Amino acid sequence: MRTTSRRQFLKLLGATGAGLLAGRPCAARGAGTVNNDELGMLYDATRCVGCKACMAACKRVNRDSGGLAYERAPFDQDKLWDAPADLSGNTRTLIKLYKGPQNRWSYIKYSCMHCQEPSCVSVCPVSAMTKDKATGIVDYDKNKCIGCRYCQIACPFSIPRFQWERKAPQIVKCDLCRNTNLRGKGLPACAEVCPTGAITFGRRGDLLRDARGRIEANGGRYVNYVYGEHEVGGTNHLYLAGVPFPRLGLPRLPAEAPAEFSERIQHTIYKGFIAPVALYGMLCIIALRNRKKRESKGIQEEEE
Ligand code: SF4
Ligand code: SF4
């Protein structure tokens, strides 16, 4: 899990640049520390049967009904089948099927990774994206959002989506059912309905132990890696799979969060205010030189 694709590189660059421009450090935690008490989910692709009950439950609790033309499968002549091809302004959880060579296949779930150091929170200029200190849930306040879509650009997993088709669009992404199922039943709707136990909800530390235990007990069934343990500073949505993660659309990413990187650059630049003072000094010198030039030119003109 070392190389970074060109697209991911540009995304990380964008996230870092936007972070520098926003100039607001990610308020989540100290650099390099992971909070394993935060809430998260473990998705075990080897247990998933692709029934999409989680997708349906997610849409039900969030009132993200289907019915948009672009979401319908091409064969849906009677307009009864809702089969989103991607995350969108009304789909925040998606199950897809990977079919590879030698009959290798796997289902895969996409939804917000609830990063330990979320780039979306770091770049949002109006604090519409927030990370809850107690639970670690990355949430969104539609009343603060100005629609700049920095969060979309910065997310290394391309999760937040914008409701382009609506008059008053919002950013859409999973919030672990914070104000719906989690509040009412103590767990997100997808984890509640999964009939095979492919989605486990709990504290990150417990989920990690569970994941490592499954790998140890079932040699050969899993790729020997828990996706999300280290990527971009760690995520609270963790993955187990029997197929290499990049083939399932989960990108190879560095262990350092873009937010941490941009903060380090900011701190280096502004350390002791050396850079701003140097810049100010340079501007003064240029202004003085120009003034002298103008003055000597004026004297010359007077003499002529
Ligand atoms: S689109 Fe909204 S939530 Fe996203 S960065 Fe801009 S203001 Fe923040
Ligand atoms: S996955 Fe993307 S949207 Fe979710 S917390 Fe991380 S950066 Fe934000």
Average pLDDT over residues 108-113: 98
Indicate which residue's Cα is closest to atom 7 of ligand 1: 145
Q: Percentage of the chain surpassing pLDDT 90?
A: 63
More confident: 186 or 26: 186
The ligand placed nearest to the CA atom of residue 159 is: 2
- Cα separation, 285 vs 42, whole angstroms: 59
* Selected residue with higher pLDDT from 295 and 3: 295
Residue located via tokens 């004026």: 298
Ligand with minimal distance to 170 CA: 1
Is 12 touching ligand 2 by the criterion CB < 6 Å? Answer: no
Answer yes or no: are the C-beta atoms of 223 and 242 closer than 8 Å: yes
State the residue for tokens 């999760």: 159
Q: Does the beta carbon of 236 sit less than 6 angstroms from any atom of ligand 2?
A: no
- Rounded to the nearest whole angstrom, what is the distance from the C-alpha of residue 148 to the centroid of ligand 1? 5
Atom of ligand 2 nearest to the CA of 158: 2
Starting from the CA of residue 250, give the closest ligand.
Answer: 2
Burial (CB count within 10 angstroms: exposed 0-12, middle 13-18, buried 19+), residue 108 = buried
Residue written as tokens 């002549």? Answer: 77
Nearest-5° Cα angle at 122, 117 to 124: 140
Nearest alpha carbon to residue 232 among 264, 204, 255: 255
**HEC string of the chain?**
CCCCCHHHHHHHHHHHHHHHHHCCCCCCCCCCCCCCCCEEEEEECCCCCCCCHHHHHHHHHHCCCCCCHHHECCCCCCCCCECCCCCECCECCEEEEEECCCCCEEEEEECCCCECCCHHHHHCCCCCEEECCCCCCEEECCCCCCCCCHHHHHCCCCCCEECCCCCCCCEECCCCCCCCHHHHHCCCHHHHHCCCCCEEEEEHHHHHHHHHHHHHHCCCCCCCCCECCCHHHCECEEEECCCCHHHHCCCCCCCCCHHHHHHHHHHHHHHHHHHHHHHHHHHHHHHHHHHHHHHHHHHHHHHC
Pocket test for ligand 1, best of 148, 152, 166 (most atoms within 8 A of CB): 148
Q: In ligand 1, which atom is closest to the CA atom of 160?
A: 4
- Per residue in 208-259, pLDDT (tens digit) is 999 999 999 998 999 999 999 999 999 999 999 999 999 999 999 999 998 7
**Mean pLDDT of the chain, nearest integer:** 84
- Ligand 2 center from residue 118 Cα (angstroms): 5
pLDDT band at 303 (very low <50, low <70, confident <90, very high): low
